[in-house]
Structure 1
Amino acid sequence: MNRLALSGLALVVAATAVMAVPEGNAVAAGGGAPDAPAEQYCVIVVGKAVKGELSPVRSKTCGSSPVSKSLVKASANTVLLMEWFEHANNSPSSLTRVHGEAGDCDADGYRLRATGFWANRISGFNAYSKCNVATGYDLVNLSGDRQTWRMDKPCKCLLQGWVGAYMNDRIESFWIRQG
């Protein structure tokens, strides 16, 4: 084989190796654990943000069951704000529940980042605790392309089984609020 053919072959092998590792499951440098393997359940607790800023993350706890003692303990004295689903129509192989330590949504609500495993993987979500309006953004700091969902139900909640083709697997941040 000539040099040009070998160079082309090396590029194909390198590209194939990169595509073989699913995004979000890459192993950290030094052989660390993947960011969030399939069938993992997490609770993220956030605080109330200063108006216009992102809600501060107070804790993140993960386990192998959505009802594990560590997840129940992590969510104590908080309210359930959101559930994020990797696949549409509430069919999770991984599920993250976001809890607020400052109570139900109000007009200012909470501003959340979907980072790590969840960046560009959300296909559906539920919002609770009077969070009946949600805007999803394709960039982490509540910017870029966006879409807003609203549901007026007695529960003051928002059940969005599928975000639709426009924002599917593109969401990196949310602003949830009562509307």
Structure 2
Amino acid sequence: MSKRSVSFTLNGKPVTLEVEPRTTLLRALREHGVTSVKRGCEEGECGTCTVLLDDVLQKSCMVLALEAEGRSVVTTEGLLGPKGELHPVQQAFIDEGAIQCGFCTPGMILSVVDLLRRHPEPTDEQIRVGLSGNLCRCTGYTGIFRAVRKAAALMKEQG
């Protein structure tokens, strides 16, 4: 199958990739070396491949790479500050022990970023709904809920 070029902004930088038309954004990102985007179920169920596509939460296994043409894709690497400082959500996950095996963490973090954009002071129900597209098999979610609350507080402090 012949390859086609797709150009988009990845974590603030322009990229052009050569992909087969059937290649998902997940596979294209992995082949490009983006290691935070994990290959889990590849059916849109687990959330390990979650990215922000034009600031909208998206499971990259459900999008063809060619659909990213001219758009913005953000992975957890794109959340880092200009001097490499962690985003408040990333820091909160570390501080609250919301990471065990780490497989779900990048998708979880992007889901929390999206959640806190919409609900800066989320209720438990809003957290439950906001994370409903992400599965964690290790933590039991207690640490993750603590991390969401801490990230909300950190972001409120930072304005």
The verdict on a shared fold, with TM-score over 0.5 as the criterion, is no
TM-score (norm 2): 0.28
Greater percentage in helix: 2
The structure number with the bigger radius of gyration is 1
TM-score (norm 1): 0.26
